[in-house]
Amino acid sequence: MKSTRSYTMRVRADQVQQTRERILDAVVSLAGDRPLARCTLPAIAERAGVSVQTVLRAYGTRDDLFAAARERATAHVLAERRIDPDDVPATVAALVDHYEARGDGVLLLVGQERWEPLAAEITAGGRRLHREWVARTFAHTLGRLPVDRRERAVDLLVAATDLSVWKLWRRDAGRTRDETLERMLALVASVTRQLDPDTAH
């Protein structure tokens, strides 16, 4: 009897957790499709297939819900942007694939950052994350430079691998994913050669 009750409690806990995750996925999905002001609780509930009451019961307030969704999205981003300083081409390829999956949604957030505080907060965090990605991805190149040259080097590599570069080739010029990757790698190689002729990836 006790084991049956324990099993039932585990099943219910799993169902609650799955519902919570579905709600968070709905927030992230909606934020990639529309301005944040239109990511209302009813819209989130509809996308998640639950009631507004269920959303509130799970997360309390819209602010708390968005904070949890942001944390979940960040975890996904970190998983997608795999880093291997010993294989820069593969790491940049993972970045391009990340842009393929989420780039348009991030561009939508960037377009809101002047008037939507949450969008500005999210994009500022994204820029910090990208700078950290550059520092780790190009650790070998940066480690060979004098300390006083590293910040400039990071600036150049941030620009070479920025979302705006992906947009320029992928969306504005209509290049394919592979063409975009090839061009980004060429730009990265140009920057690293300029930083240190003995460093090439």
pLDDT tens per residue, range 113-132: 999 999 999 999 999 999 99
Confidence class for position 2, pLDDT limits 50, 70, 90: low
Neighbour count for residue 85 (Cβ, 10 Å): 16
Query: At which residue do the structure tokens 């240190």 appear?
Result: 196
> The dihedral of CA 47, 53, 56, 59: what is its sign?
negative
At 49 the three-state DSSP class reads coil
CATH of 2-67, one of 3.90.76.10, 3.40.50.880, 1.10.357.10, 1.10.3720.10: 1.10.357.10
pTM of the model: 0.88
Provide the residue ranges of all domains of the chain, joining segments of one domain with +.
2-67, 81-195
Alpha-carbon distance 5 to 23, whole Å? 27
Read off the pLDDT band of 201 (50, 70, 90). Answer: very low
- Cα distance between residue 42 and residue 63, in whole Å: 15
What's the mean pLDDT when you consider all of the chain? 93
Torsion sign across C-alpha atoms 145, 149, 150, 152: negative
